[in-house]
Amino acid sequence: MDAIEGAVSPAMRHKARHFALQAIYQWQMTGDSAQEIERQFLEDQPLKGADLDYMHDLISGVVANAMELDEIYSPFLSRPLKDLDLVDKAILRLATFELTYRQEIPFRVIINEAIELAKSFAEQDSHKFVNGVLDKVVKQIKQG
């Protein structure tokens, strides 16, 4: 925890997103339940410094709402959803979940985090693709 009991730092949220992305990717690959994947992560990963409650919310929220999330961002894809790289799909699902369900977090923070995840885990120019799609998602959410 931070110096203030119960406070969550941006670094803790960043780590939560990092692990949630990996868990979502694993879910996409295996089809295992969110609970099983999260259990494995808690047992096998060095999660120290991550906001575990937020990680849980992200994993369970994305898995529970994946079809809805795909419907939100897929109109802005330059290729069919079925052809989307699984890492890009996991990042877009994660960020779209936050943009839709965690509106207390500034959209710029969510998009920046998604770009950083893409730079770390996805193909070389995926961060540009992710940024372009999420910018359009934000505009749609603001209009709604």
Q: What angle do CA 124, 127, 130 make, to 5 degrees?
A: 135
Domains of the chain: 10-142 (1.10.940.10)
Question: How many H helices and E strands in the chain?
Answer: 6, 0
Q: What is the largest CA-CA distance in the chain?
A: 47
Structure tokens at 47: 């999660």
| Per-residue pLDDT reduced to its tens digit, 11-55 | 999 999 999 999 999 999 999 999 999 999 889 878 889 999 999
pLDDT in tens, 54-110: 999 999 999 999 999 999 999 999 999 999 999 999 999 999 999 999 999 999 999
pTM: 0.93
